Amino acid sequence: MLLQYRAAAVAGFGTQLFWGLIMVMIYEAFYRSTTVRQPMELGQVVTYVWLGQSFLAMLPWNVDSEIRGMVRQGAVAYELLRPVDLFNLWYSRAVATRTAPTLLRSAPMFITAMLFFGMQPPDSIASGFAWAAAMIGALMLGCAISTILNISLLWTISSEGVSRIVPALVLIFSGGIIPLPLFPDWAQQTLRVLPFAGLADFPYRLYVGNIPPDRVLFVLAHQVAWTIAFVALGRAILSRGVRIMVVQGG
Query: Could you say which of 22, 77, 228, 247 contacts other proteins (CB under 8 A)?
Result: 22
Do 210 and 181 form a contact (C-beta atoms < 8 A)?
A: yes
DSSP for 93-142 reads: HHHHHHHHHHHHHHHHHHHHHHHHS-----SSHHHHHHHHHHHHHHHHHH
30 is an interface residue for other proteins by CB under 8 A: yes
Question: Among the candidate windows 4-12, 65-73, 216-224, 225-233, which touches other proteins by CB under 8 A?
Answer: 4-12
Q: Would you say 33 or 249 has its CB closer to other proteins? A: 33
26 is an interface residue for other proteins by CB under 8 A: yes
Do 203 and 102 form a contact (C-beta atoms < 8 A)?
A: no
Question: Among the candidate windows 63-71, 137-145, 171-179, 225-233, which touches other proteins by CB under 8 A?
Answer: 171-179
Query: Could you say which of 111, 125, 165, 232 contacts other proteins (CB under 8 A)?
Result: 165
Closest approach of Cβ 194 to other proteins, in Å? Answer: 14
- As a whole number of angstroms, the distance between CA 77 and CA 66 comes to 14
Closest approach of Cβ 34 to other proteins, in Å? Answer: 5
Give the DSSP H/E element, type plus range, for residue 218: helix 216-244
Residues 183-202 that bind other proteins (CB under 8 A): 183-184
Give the other-Cβ count within 10 Å of 164's Cβ. 9
Q: Would you say 111 or 168 has its CB closer to other proteins? A: 168
37 is an interface residue for other proteins by CB under 8 A: no
178 is an interface residue for other proteins by CB under 8 A: yes
Count CA within 13 A, CB hemisphere, residue 178: 10
Contacts of 162 (CB under 8 A, 6+ apart): 63, 149, 152, 153, 156
Contact flags string 117-156 toward other proteins, x per CB under 8 A: ----------------------------------------
Query: Could you say which of 1, 3, 29, 84 contacts other proteins (CB under 8 A)?
Result: 29
Nearest to 223 by CA among 200, 189, 190, 206: 200
Query: Could you say which of 8, 80, 125, 236 contacts other proteins (CB under 8 A)?
Result: 8
The dihedral through the CA atoms of 22, 27, 28, 33 has a sign that is positive
- For other proteins, the binding residues (CB under 8 A) are 7-8, 10-12, 14-15, 18-19, 21-22, 25-26, 29-34, 38, 158, 160-161, 163-165, 167-168, 171-172, 177-178, 182-184
